[in-house]
Chain A
Amino acid sequence: MKHERSSSPSRRSVLRAGIGAAGGLALPSLLVTPAHAADQPPIGTWPAGTQGDSVFIGISVPRTGTYAVQGEDELKGYQLAIEHINEGHPLIKAISPKTTKGVLGKQLKFGVADSAAKPNDAVQAQQRFITENKAIMITGGTSSAVAVALNKLAQREKVLFVCGISGSNDTTGKDCVRYGVRQNFYGQTAADAIGPALLKAYGKNKKMAFMTPDYTYGHTVTKSVNDFLTKNGGWQMVTNQVSPLGAPDYSSYLTNIANSGAEFLINVNWGHDAVLSTQQAKQFGLLPKMKLVIPYQIPFLAREVGPDVTEGVYAATDFWWTMEDKYPLAKQFVETFEKKFGYKPEWGAENAYMEFALWAEAVEHAGTFYPPDVIKSYESPRKLNSFVGEVSWRPEDHQLIRPVVIVRGKKPSAMRNKEDYWEVVEVVPGAGLMQKPDAFGCNLGGYT
């Protein structure tokens, strides 16, 4: 893994310029005076983690197991973001205007651990990064169970956790913490975004079968989608097949669904679980007899199951690469990513990149790595740039208010290239999708 380091002459010259021109206002973290330090007593890995030329970030993504494909995509997004932050790339500056080279002039270094989407593995790896490398920020996800566990670790260790993909309402709901932030959409926003599109496309009073992975993500997404469709469209859940993460075979669940009389198969599974369950739904003749809906879309699904299966399927997502047609920053991102990695970035990569870009912005806005100040920076209301237009953080639960993208699977013959699987039907603005801040019982906890 390549870690870039800032050249010290450049840092010194910036420092001199800063002192000379503005009394160090631009770079307060490099000029911590004893008086200032008294206001900012050591906390977490601060200031130990920020004393060198570089700061360390702990990344845990699933590189094995059912979410491995998404984890690798996510990791590439992190790598690109770190590279861009360290070189002061224009794409990062568009989101974090104060970024020069690195964050507050310090280069980012990072370590990567395989979480296998298991909370214990992720927590152990991140604890190591915090203790041994003095990580000043940790990230990871692609499983809400991991996200919730890392939320707790972050709050205990007083090190910021910038959450990777996590769809559970609980992550910024009942399991929210002061030291955790999340940028992607989740169960409730998925339901409120895709629900109207489904009712518009298919009408009212339908029978639906759910396939739900048995952990916080699955249960909350299923509940949110079911609540919306039941309340607003009179749809009826005729069965909910709950399966363990990484189930090797879905035949039993699908047989139960086949006999349930459902007209719609709402597949909440994710990662390889979604691929396998969807493929097997086709084997069992459920598809295309039943309409498939993917309320929380996974990257790569169409690539892995084939566009003949995803044709006409409605799905909710954070990002799809053809959004480059509408959003110039998305275009820049897709182009630079594709140039580096040879394929169009998926949601995992976009999510990872945005997390880091927004974190860089929050730290630069705070002007310090001091964790409580960085958190307050996240909590101070302001409009931010993103790949999908203007976004903002919600101080009450640390959830980014951002649009949810509704896509529909393209016919194979309508695809303009081999990665053109989905057409963007609608970009639903974020503000209208948000529940009340306390709807899921969030209590952020303390700063110190």
Chain B
Amino acid sequence: MITWSNFLSQLFNGLALGALLALIASGLTIIYGTLGVLNLAHGAMFMVGGYAGYAAWQASGSFLLALLAGTLCVGLLGVLMERVIIRHFYQRPGEDQLLVTFGLAICFVEIIRLIFSSLTKTVTPPSLLSGITNLGIMFYPTYRLAVVGIVAIALLVLYVVLYRTRLGLIVRAGIDDAVMVDSLGIDVYRVFMIVFGIGSMAAGFAGIVNAPVVSLTPEVGEAILVQTFVVVVIGGVGSFPGAILGGLIAGEIISLTSMVNPGYAYVMLFAAMTLVLLVRPHGLLGTRGRE
């Protein structure tokens, strides 16, 4: 029987998962929208963010430092990846980009396995955010509530960067028409590098934020990648608000279906994606985007 507290609890689960998916998807969609690169290593970067944060947390005991380390480390990794490998693939067919990013994902997973082994690693949230909160009608893990807030702040920062800065303006213009941006005398490749860095940082940050929720294994990025792609498709490829909306919808679909029958959670997610594609082929908030 579904009780109110069960329903609310699932609603919160969906919100926490959705917020996280929104953050990861926003990184993925910015990179795809601007650079046209479908980054299959995005999930692995989410995982690397978790491990980098774990290492920092082990060394310092500070969750704040872990957040910083996870974010910056993956941001740097993204920039390096773009400079050394990805930029050589801008002009090549999409299949090549898929293959190279898929290969990189495998490399990242194996390197992490080599360094940290397959044993599950756990990051404990700060004591302030640990334990259970009594919400009156139900008890709920405090950290999961905090995740929603933390991710909301991160998304707000991303929003400000994308919509309130000159860089954001160029990025958004790049999403619409990279050739035009280039012809206006803006070093579009430098912008591409920054965009790749920002997108990667979003994944890295999500990785360490999520670490106390699901704990870390080298495969933690694989499962999330598929969900992230669905989110991007639902929200609309290249759309930042679409990623947020898609994330929240996906989170709630997974969670609320689980309340009735967990086995159908992903079936419903894919059904929803299909429905959206039928009604709006470019996603809920997608424009024509790249075709």
Q: Chain A interface (Cβ within 8 Å of chain B)?
A: 63-66, 68-69, 72, 214, 241-244, 246, 248-249, 251-253, 255-256, 258-259, 272, 275-276, 279-280, 283-285, 300, 303-306
Residues of B within 8 A of A66 (CB): 217, 219
Instruction: Among A64, A243, A246, A279, find the residue whose CB has the most chain B CB atoms closer than 10 A.
Output: A64
Say whether B58 faces chain A, with CB atoms less than 8 Å apart. no
Is the Cβ of A252 less than 8 Å from the Cβ of B144? no
Instruction: Among B143, B219, B263, find the residue whose CB has the most chain A CB atoms closer than 10 A.
Output: B219
Cα A253 to Cα B217 with chains together (Å): 21
Is the Cβ of A68 less than 8 Å from the Cβ of B118? yes
Say whether B128 faces chain A, with CB atoms less than 8 Å apart. no
* Seed contacts A248-B224, A256-B262, A280-B214; 9 additional CB < 8 Å A-B pairs: A64-B109, A64-B118, A242-B263, A248-B214, A249-B17, A252-B10, A259-B5, A275-B215, A284-B132
Q: Chain B interface (Cβ within 8 Å of chain A)?
A: 3, 5-6, 9-10, 13, 16-17, 109, 113, 117-120, 122, 132, 139-141, 143-144, 213-215, 217-220, 223-224, 254-255, 258-259, 262-263, 265
Chain B, residue nearest A285 (CB): B132
Instruction: State which of A214, A251, A259 has its C-beta within 8 Å of the C-beta of B13.
Output: A251
Nearest Cβ distance between residue B125 and chain A, in whole angstroms?
A: 10
Is the Cβ of A248 less than 8 Å from the Cβ of B144? no
Is the Cβ of A253 less than 8 Å from the Cβ of B215? no
Is the Cβ of A252 less than 8 Å from the Cβ of B119? no
Is the Cβ of B217 less than 8 Å from the Cβ of A252? no
Residues of B within 8 A of A279 (CB): 122, 215
Cα A65 to Cα B218 with chains together (Å): 9
A-B contact pairs, 7 of them (CB 8 A): A64-B109, A64-B113, A69-B120, A251-B16, A255-B10, A259-B6, A279-B122
Residues of B within 8 A of A64 (CB): 109, 113, 118, 218-219
Nearest Cβ distance between residue B7 and chain A, in whole angstroms?
A: 9
Is the Cβ of B120 less than 8 Å from the Cβ of A246? no
Instruction: State which of A214, A246, A249, A306 has its C-beta within 8 Å of the C-beta of B213.
Output: A249
Chain B, residue nearest A244 (CB): B263
Is the Cβ of A272 less than 8 Å from the Cβ of B6? no
Is the Cβ of A255 less than 8 Å from the Cβ of B9? yes
* A258 and B141 in contact, given A241-B262, A272-B120, A279-B122 (Cβ under 8 angstroms): no
Is the Cβ of A285 less than 8 Å from the Cβ of B17? no
* A246 and B223 in contact, given A275-B120, A276-B215 (Cβ under 8 angstroms): yes
Chain B, residue nearest A116 (CB): B219
Instruction: Among B113, B139, B258, B263, find the residue whose CB has the most chain A CB atoms closer than 10 A.
Output: B258
Closest 8 CB pairs of A and B: A252-B258, A248-B223, A285-B132, A68-B118, A259-B6, A304-B120, A251-B13, A255-B9
Cα A305 to Cα B215 with chains together (Å): 10
Residues of A within 8 A of B3 (CB): 259
Is the Cβ of A256 less than 8 Å from the Cβ of B217? no
Chain A, residue nearest B226 (CB): A248
Residues of A within 8 A of B9 (CB): 255, 258-259
Chain A, residue nearest B10 (CB): A255
Chain A, residue nearest B140 (CB): A284
Chain A, residue nearest B224 (CB): A248
Is the Cβ of A251 less than 8 Å from the Cβ of B223? no
Instruction: Among B118, B215, B262, find the residue whose CB has the most chain A CB atoms closer than 10 A.
Output: B118
Nearest Cβ distance between residue A155 and chain B, in whole angstroms?
A: 31
* A284 and B141 in contact, given A241-B262, A242-B263, A300-B119 (Cβ under 8 angstroms): yes
Cα A306 to Cα B120 with chains together (Å): 11
Residues of A within 8 A of B120 (CB): 69, 272, 275-276, 304-305
Residues of A within 8 A of B255 (CB): 251-252
Instruction: Among A244, A252, A285, find the residue whose CB has the most chain B CB atoms closer than 10 A.
Output: A252
Residues of A within 8 A of B217 (CB): 66, 68, 272
Cα A285 to Cα B213 with chains together (Å): 13
Cα A66 to Cα B118 with chains together (Å): 9
Is the Cβ of A304 less than 8 Å from the Cβ of B262? no
Cα A275 to Cα B3 with chains together (Å): 28
Residues of A within 8 A of B119 (CB): 69, 300, 303-304
Is the Cβ of B6 less than 8 Å from the Cβ of A255? yes
* A252 and B215 in contact, given A69-B120, A259-B3 (Cβ under 8 angstroms): no
Instruction: State which of B5, B118, B223, B259 has its C-beta within 8 Å of the C-beta of A252.
Output: B259
Is the Cβ of B122 less than 8 Å from the Cβ of A283? no
Chain A, residue nearest B258 (CB): A252
Cα A306 to Cα B121 with chains together (Å): 11
Cα A423 to Cα B243 with chains together (Å): 50
Residues of B within 8 A of A275 (CB): 120, 215
Residues of A within 8 A of B263 (CB): 214, 242, 244
Is the Cβ of A253 less than 8 Å from the Cβ of B258? yes
Is the Cβ of A285 less than 8 Å from the Cβ of B139? yes
Instruction: State which of A72, A276, A305 has its C-beta within 8 Å of the C-beta of B118.
Output: A72
Cα A251 to Cα B256 with chains together (Å): 11
Cα A225 to Cα B162 with chains together (Å): 56
Residues of A within 8 A of B5 (CB): 259
Is the Cβ of A252 less than 8 Å from the Cβ of B219? no
Is the Cβ of A65 less than 8 Å from the Cβ of B13? no
Residues of B within 8 A of A252 (CB): 10, 13, 254-255, 258-259, 262, 265
* A283 and B262 in contact, given A252-B10, A304-B119 (Cβ under 8 angstroms): no
Is the Cβ of A283 less than 8 Å from the Cβ of B13? no
Is the Cβ of A249 less than 8 Å from the Cβ of B214? yes
Residues of B within 8 A of A258 (CB): 6, 9, 139
Residues of B within 8 A of A285 (CB): 132, 139, 141
Cα A255 to Cα B14 with chains together (Å): 12
Is the Cβ of A283 less than 8 Å from the Cβ of B141? yes
Cα A327 to Cα B218 with chains together (Å): 37
Instruction: Among A243, A251, A305, find the residue whose CB has the most chain B CB atoms closer than 10 A.
Output: A251
